[in-house]
Every structure is written in structure tokens, then in C-alpha cells.
Amino acid sequence: MNKKWQIYETDEEKIKQLQEKYQINKLLATILANRGITKKEEIRLFLEPTRNDFHNPFLIKDMEKAVKRIITAIEKQENVTIYGDYDVDGITSITVLKSFLQDRGLEVESYIPNRLDEGYGLNKAAIGKIVDNGTQLMITVDCGISAVEEISYAKSLGIETIVTDHHEPGTILPDALAVIDNKRKDSNYPFRELAGVGVVFKLIQAIGIQLGLKEEEYLKYLDIVCVGTISDIVPLVNENRVIAKLGLMLIRQTKNIGLQSIINSSGYSKIDSNSISFGIAPRINACGRMGKAEEALELLLSKNYHEAANLTKKLNEHNRVRQETEKNIFENAIQQIEEEQLQNKNAIIVGGENWHHGVIGIVSSKITEMYFKPSILLSFEEDGIGKGSGRSVPGFDLHEALNQCTDTIEKFGGHSMAVGITVKKEKFNQFRESFEKIAKEAHIDQMVPVIQVDSKIDVKDINKDMVESLKQLEPFGEGNRMPVFVFKNLKIDSIRALTEGKHLKLTLKDNNTIINSIGFNLGHLAEEYRIGDKVDVVGVLEINSFNGVDSLQINMKDVMRSL
């Protein structure tokens, strides 16, 4: 697949000023300039944020109302239920709020809808159970902003509700006692991109301030807040960066027994955004995907090492089953794509019998990444109803496209890049044809993946200190991706495919300087190049540690012949 390399137009004068003024190397100065971080306070906040960089939580709409009501519940020892989502953001949100309130002497219940039976968000049957449990106050976390009907129903049954959420609200806000969501149209809060757990953190911060608690009483949960924030793929800028930067430091010495147990079992020796995204998050998410979200919550709330070890084993098993299930669905989908030549279409829509609902969204993401086309996967049940998930590519609004296919769809929801959808089997082919027409009119075939390149670097200028300095830019994630560089006119000194042809290993030479390069999932290129070929490479600079020896390495994102 062809990819477009888009290199930043660097302002050499600005870079030189940053180097001299803040005593940083040229590479670091270049990246900061590319990200628009050029003022003294911006640089300090980005590289060295502190606890003093959190915004005032009382700037959030309805925060005072929520704090006052929760303090009343604490004083009167009322029955409170936290209603959360089944993903990492939801699980960590419940963990933080429940732990904080228990520390204040209030025992609270929690409710997580089953992903497979109930789906996302509030539902009336769940509210009925919460009423029967004697709940007087319900606090939603990572959900609730769109539950207008359900929250009105809860109110009619005598339950007061405080909504904490971070999703986009509709035209009507829920009739709740307080609605805390920085994406409200009337919000004046300085930052709107907090994860659900970030909103919960602001709530406990506000309660802590109101009660006159020491900062440590709410800051101690930043390890869990960090996990939820990084896992939810929100932009790691502004207040999210403060959470992630301080939270990662806390994770490395976490007192949360469950979190420590997951870390130990994940196999990651270094704690960073990468180990959270690929080591911790999948294990917690697997529980929700397999309908066992309560077990992840139990683990993060556990106070017992033996219990934590047993629960961690369960999480690892759920993750193993999830991986196996995902692999089977992916293979089935690829077989269908190849048999029907769907890779030549503008959009890829496939369906299977009884595919696992909790996993098909991941498979859709993989297919979209593989072919760089919007994809929708549907799982058909015995009743002929297909439920599924879709993912899109930048430049194609998936939600808007489905708005034009409503005559063939039962229901759908989501946003431009990801949707959930229900289609009757009898209308599947009609839906596929309608959607393909829309995708064709959007010229999907002309869209190509874009790799944003920070700067061109000569291999001879690279050294370990330079690469080490890039660690100051961590944590990496949405809104702060790892720096990508282009290396031009390198000679291939050796080339081979690894892991049964899946990955590509190169040794590259620039005059007398040699550097190793690894290209994950680029193994198919091994047959296109030969020793002696001149190539340009884009990738991430890293230090590879093997058998106690450190060496510089390019983690390739793409390669092409030099012009």
C-alpha cells in the first residue's frame, strides 16, 4: 500500500532560538517547534508538569451542586450506587470514585452493564435493580450524558442522579441533579478532552478541596486515573498530560495491589504509555469484552495479594480467549474478503454467524488498518438480526454515511470514525450496495495513509544521548505521537524476513555508519529489495537492549527506493 510522507516545514531560526534559550538539543527543539510548543511556560508544562498545573475543578459546570450533594450523602450515610461502563475508562472511573468515597467512610455499590446482554450505557432494567437495592443517589461515570429517558425514569422512581461523562451531549441534557461534562455547550472549563476517569478525578479533587483534605488524599489515585486516561486514547495534552506524566511516576511505585499484579503478569519491565496500552489495557478490556467486567473491578479494588493473584489469572485467561476469538474472526473475515474480492471495493462489509460481539470491533479496526478502507463487521444470530461494529479512515465520516442508508439499517450510533450498527440479514446485500455507492462517491480509492514526519536526520549524526533526550517527550499517545524521522539514501547492507515472513529486518549503511532497522508487519517487502539497493526510510528512533548490550535502531514505518 502506498503511503504519503508529509514532512514538517521546519523554522530553522525558531529551532535555533529554542536550542539556545532552553539549552536543549536540536532534535528536541525541532519536535517542540513542530508541535507548536515554543513559549517558556508551554515548554515547562509539557516537559515538567506538576500538581500545581491542574485547573480549578470548580470551574466545571454543576461541580458545586455535585460536591454538595455527595458530601450530604457521606454525612447521612445514604445508599449510593456508581453506574459505570465496562471498558478500562469505566472500570478505572468506578475504582477511583468508590475507593475515595470508602476512604470518607461511605460504603457504595457499583453497577456495570453486561456488554453482551445489556450493551453500553444506562438501561431501565438496571435502574430497576438499583431502585430495589434502596439506592438514593446514583452517580454515573463514563456514561449518562445521552441517557435522557433513563435518567428521567430513575427520577420518577425517586433516585437522584449525578452525571459525570466526557462524551458529546445531545441537544437535550439529562434531567439530573448535576451534569458534569466538559463537552457541554455552556462549558467554560479550560480543557474539554478529559477521559471519563479524568472527570471523576476532578470530582474527587473538588470534594477534597471542599472537605479541606490534604492533596495526597486525591492525588494518590493518579496511578489508576493515568491507566484509564491513556487507555481511552484521549489527547495527551494539557491536563491529560499532567495526569499521564504524574500518574506514570506513581504507577512505578503503585500501592494498588491489583494494578501491581497486572503489571507483573504483563511481562513489561518498563512502565510507560506503551506498557499501559498494550500490557495493562487489553487485560482489563478483555473482561468487559467477554462479559466479565466485574472481575477487573474486583482486581483493582482488591486489598488481598492472594485474591489479586487469582483474579489476575482470570484476566489473563479472558485475554487469551479474546485473542483466540479475535484471531478466528479475523481469519474468517479475511477469507470472505479474498473469496469475494472485497479488497477491490471502496468499503469492506462482511458478516458471519455468531461472531463474538465483544471482539468484532477490534477486528474491524485491523481490517481498516490493513486495507485503509472503511469496514463494517456484522454478526448474525439465529433470529436473522446482525449486530456489528464499523471503523473508518480519516476523511470519511462513517456516521454521516450510515445516515444515508437508514432504509436498510435497523439502528446505529457512534461518530465519524467508529460506529455500532444493527442490520437484518435479509437487507444485508442491499445495505452493502448502498454503502459501497456512498464510499465510491467519496473517492475512497484516492485516499492514502499519511505519515507525519518530524525531520530529516543523517544516520552519522545520531547518538545515544540524542535518542535518550526524546524520553522527555513521553508519555506518547493520542495528540503526542512518537517522533518520526526520515533517513535518506541509505544502502541495504543486509535484509531478511522474520517470524515466518511477518516482519522485516534490515541493516542500513550511510558511508561508514551502520544502523539496524526493524519493520513490524513489513515482511512482505523482503522480496522487493536486495542488498546494495538505496532506500529512504521513515521510522522511530529507539534503543534496542539485547543481552545487556544497547544499540541504536530504527523502528520502520515505511520504506521506498531513493530517487
d(CA 486, CA 210): 52
Q: Verify that 81 and 210 share a domain, yes or no.
A: yes
Task: Concatenate the DSSP letters of all residues of 139-179 into one string.
Answer: EEES--TT-HHHHHHHHHTT-EEEEE--SPP-SS----SEE
Q: Verify that 423 and 552 share a domain, yes or no.
A: no
Q: Where is the domain boundary, 385, 419, 446?
A: 446
Predicted local confidence at residue 512, as pLDDT: 87
- With H, G, I as helix, E, B as strand and everything else as coil, classify residue 6: strand
pLDDT of the chain along its 563 residues, tens only?
A: 678 999 998 888 889 999 988 888 888 999 999 888 989 899 999 999 999 999 999 999 999 999 999 999 999 999 999 999 999 999 999 999 999 999 999 999 999 998 888 877 899 999 999 999 999 999 999 999 989 999 999 999 999 999 999 988 888 999 999 999 999 999 999 999 999 999 999 999 999 999 999 999 999 999 999 999 999 989 999 999 999 999 999 999 999 999 999 999 998 888 999 999 999 999 999 999 899 999 999 999 999 999 999 999 999 999 999 999 999 999 999 999 999 999 999 999 999 998 998 899 999 999 999 999 999 999 998 888 999 999 999 999 998 999 999 999 998 877 788 888 999 999 999 999 999 999 999 999 889 999 999 999 999 888 898 899 998 999 999 889 999 999 999 999 999 999 889 999 999 999 889 999 999 989 989 999 999 999 999 999 998 887 778 889 999 999 999 98
Q: Where is the domain boundary, 446, 475, 495?
A: 446
Neighbour-count burial for 284-294, b at 16+ CB within 10 Å, e otherwise: bbbbbbbbbbb
Which three cell numbers mark 284?
A: 482489563
The parent domain of residue 117 ranges over 53-223
Which three cell numbers mark 274?
A: 506503551
> Which neighbouring-strand residues pair with 83?
111, 140
In a domain, 263, yes or no: no
Predicted local confidence at residue 1, as pLDDT: 66
Domain count across the chain: 3
Q: Verify that 134 and 166 share a domain, yes or no.
A: yes
Instruction: Please return the burial class of 9, using the count of CB atoms within 10 Å of its CB with bins 0-12, 13-18 and 19+.
Output: exposed
Is pTM beyond 0.85 here?
Answer: yes
- 175 contacts 155 by C-beta, under 8 angstroms: yes
In a domain, 268, yes or no: no
CATH (domain of 360): 3.10.310.30
Q: Verify that 138 and 156 share a domain, yes or no.
A: yes
Q: Verify that 440 and 544 share a domain, yes or no.
A: no
- With H, G, I as helix, E, B as strand and everything else as coil, classify residue 34: helix
Q: Verify that 87 and 200 share a domain, yes or no.
A: yes
- 315 contacts 287 by C-beta, under 8 angstroms: yes
Q: Verify that 359 and 427 share a domain, yes or no.
A: yes
CATH (domain of 206): 3.90.1640.30
Q: Verify that 211 and 68 share a domain, yes or no.
A: yes
Side by side, which strands form the sheet with 348-353? 348-353, 375-380, 385-391, 418-424, 411-414
d(CA 523, CA 554): 15
In a domain, 514, yes or no: yes
Predicted local confidence at residue 441, as pLDDT: 95
Q: Verify that 462 and 531 share a domain, yes or no.
A: yes
Predicted local confidence at residue 357, as pLDDT: 83
Q: Verify that 431 and 485 share a domain, yes or no.
A: no
d(CA 392, CA 372): 8
d(CA 541, CA 520): 14
